[in-house]
Amino acid sequence: MMPHEDRYGLPLSTTSDEAAAAYREGVDLMLAGWTGTAEALERAIAADPDFALAHIARARVHAFYQQGDLARSKATLARQLVAKCGTERERSHVETLALAIEGRLPDAIAATLKHVESWPRDAMVLSLPLGAFGLFAFSGMADHDRARHELCERVKQHYGEDWWFLTMAGWAMTENGDVARGRAITERGFDLRRANAHAAHAVLHAMFEDGSIDAADRLVDEWIPTYDRAGILHGHIRWHQALGALEQGDAARALAIYADVLQPTATQAPPLNVITDAASLLWRLSIYGHNVPKSLWQESDTAAQKLFPKSSLSFADVHMALFAAATQNRAALTARLATIEQRLVEGKLPAGPVVPAIFRALAAYADEDYASCAQTLAPVLTEVVRIGGSHAQRELIEDTYIVALMRGGELARARATLDARLHRRPSLRDTRWRTAMG
């Protein structure tokens, strides 16, 4: 038996006490979305340069921040090291994470599911398909919310009252529509470890779904001082607070939050969060009728073009379309749409036709052709889930559809859409719309 194990009882191929301890710390910090992750993993590597799992974990952190070359080089090294002295579980672990880092989603999903069958308590691998930015969410699946929930149900007997698993299982349940139970389970995990940004985030998603706007605001105010601004979810958690401010009609507060932690010159978030949080908040402000200075759009668009110059994930592409539409950059919108349509023809667009449809609808909205915007979005609203992200993030597309109906004079259809939303989520507070509709 190996002299060292991870926190879940799985053997680690290192003889260094220091490396094993630093690795366990680094993994826990990563699973909590907490600062210090990279530093802990670097200590593990320094203590044992041949420790493959520390290298692949460090590669994953690089991947979070879109440091592709560093991530791939560390993944390559981890493969080489684990081939020499790793166990079967460690070889599968390294290969699965490496596939995800390389963006080979179908292969990574298949490898993950196979791995979890044999080693269900390998939390690092199990984490890959979970969450709004996980493998399932970005696979193009229409049922990724259900798939995450079902995966958690299959393995829950192996985790018990583990703080990380409760966090992710509860969030999966919330996104799959069982909000009350999902919130309760997530809060249980949060209570077990308060220094857990993923738990705070998951609770906020449940509060978004059940309309607990005031409670969500208090949660952020009370908890965020404990979380460093460099934390991977710091800005996004404040983004949730800004959505609550918008629900209350407080555009000034939403803009103040944007200036504090979300605009490109202020944020320390990973690139995907930088563009999606900025674009979606500014777009919501605009369509709800609040003034957004052009300089904010231009600054964020400039940063986004540097971070995502080419078509990539559909979720990112949709937010790039928001920038292009808001800044009236028809050339950028047309060019990216052409690339996306070509990828669709080649069978390389997992999310499918919904992505170009959203692009065309946003172009129509930018031209103030609200009837065309609504007409384009109507048949694909049920397919928006394929772009990935969370329900709270994707609801922006339905909001755009509602505003297009309202501005196009189709108030009855707008009201019917809102009634359907409130039927799905009866406890939801949707005051910004009720005020507008009278």
Q: Tell me, yes or no, whether 408 lies in a domain.
A: yes
Looking at residue 432, its pLDDT comes to 67
Looking at residue 401, its pLDDT comes to 97
Residue 363 in contact with residue 338, Cβ under 8 Å? no
Residue 75 in contact with residue 97, Cβ under 8 Å? yes
Instruction: Give the DSSP letter string of 70-115.
Output: HHHHHHHHHHHHHHHH--HHHHHHHHHHHHHHTT-HHHHHHHHHHH
Per-residue CA distances from 73 to 62, 122, 280, 375 (Å) = 10, 23, 33, 47
Residue 223 in contact with residue 216, Cβ under 8 Å? no
Q: Tell me, yes or no, whether 400 lies in a domain.
A: yes
Residue ranges for the chain with pLDDT beneath 70? 1-2, 426-438
- pLDDT tens readout for residues 213-254: 999 999 999 999 999 999 999 999 999 999 999 988 899 999
Q: What is the DSSP letter of 261?
A: I
Q: Tell me, yes or no, whether 368 lies in a domain.
A: yes
Residue ranges of the alpha helices (H) in 288-426?
294-307, 314-326, 330-345, 354-366, 370-377, 391-407, 411-424
End position of a domain, from candidates 118, 149, 164: 118
In angstroms, how far is CA 112 from the centroid of its own chain? 19
Looking at residue 64, its pLDDT comes to 96
End position of a domain, from candidates 69, 84, 118: 118
Q: Tell me, yes or no, whether 151 lies in a domain.
A: no
Q: Tell me, yes or no, whether 43 lies in a domain.
A: yes
Q: What is the CATH classification number for the domain harbouring 54?
A: 1.25.40.10
Q: Tell me, yes or no, whether 166 lies in a domain.
A: no
Looking at residue 425, its pLDDT comes to 72
Q: Tell me, yes or no, whether 76 lies in a domain.
A: yes
What range does the domain containing 25 cover? Answer: 1-118
- The number of domains in the chain is 2
End position of a domain, from candidates 87, 118, 149: 118
Q: Tell me, yes or no, whether 1 lies in a domain.
A: yes
Looking at residue 1, its pLDDT comes to 39
pTM: 0.94
Residue 283 in contact with residue 242, Cβ under 8 Å? no
